[in-house]
Amino acid sequence: MICGLAMLGLISSGQCVVTWTGSGGDTDVFNDANWDFGSSSLSAIDANTEVLDDLVISNATVTSASGAGFGALLIGDGFSLTLTNSDYSSAGNTDGISGVASGAQSTINLINSSMNLQFASIGVDFNVDGTSSLQFRGGGDPINSQVDTTALNLSVGAELTLTTRAEFDEQVTDTGAAGTITANGTEVTVGNMDTLFSFTGGGPVTGTVVPEPSSMALLGIGGMALLLRRRK
């Protein structure tokens, strides 16, 4: 557990970091024996209970299952969960990730990792790098923003999986309920979606972020200029 350090710019300075150890003998994110709390004020991580420190999971496979009813790993305002070389799956059919309304955004960072959830809601920013994947199994606005906007920031190569191709359209048109999706720095709309994603699968459907055509054109021009220079 680390306090007062900003790790790779992903963790806020002055906050404590609670680190996954897996010492509890299982993969359950809600098994407190799997975490090193160190000098954190936290002593437990429970479903639907606000986590007021940064969480770090590295080189691990973890699951969450809150039991009956809707349950979520609840990341407090201004705090984060960072996964590196790890896989996170919500085992229950009503489990997901949530932030807290009316405050700073909560943040999920995926670095060479995967996350499989039923839903995300209430002001969570997902930063998904080009070696990571994010799946939502739920239908009807699984990227939920009814109280506070949830946003997906996807790098080139990142994969987003939803139940159907139509669900992608719904997520960017259902104003006030669904979240926002940004691919390679561009906000996704119905009009530009097919240029920002390469789609595979019939259900579920995976969209892989691809470079924008303008970016490819610039690369082509740059490559041609380099080739001509080498020929001289």
Model pLDDT for residues 130-155, shown as the tens digit of each residue: 999 999 998 888 998 878 889 999 99
Q: What is the DSSP string of 57-105?
A: EES-EEEE---SS-EEEEBPTT-EEEEES-EEEE-STTEEEE--SSSSP
Q: CA-CA distances (angstroms) from residue 73 to 36, 143, 174?
A: 17, 15, 25
Q: CA-CA distances (angstroms) from residue 228 to 217, 220, 221?
A: 16, 12, 11
d(CA 152, CA 170): 14
- Model confidence pLDDT, tens digit, residues 155-169: 999 999 999 999 999
pLDDT at res. 182:
97
Residue 165, domain extent: 2-231
pLDDT at res. 22:
97
pLDDT at res. 4:
46
The tally of domains found in the chain comes to 1
**What residues in the chain have per-residue pLDDT under 50?**
1, 4-8, 11, 13, 217, 227, 230-231
pLDDT at res. 139:
82
pLDDT at res. 169:
94
pLDDT at res. 7:
44
pLDDT at res. 215:
53
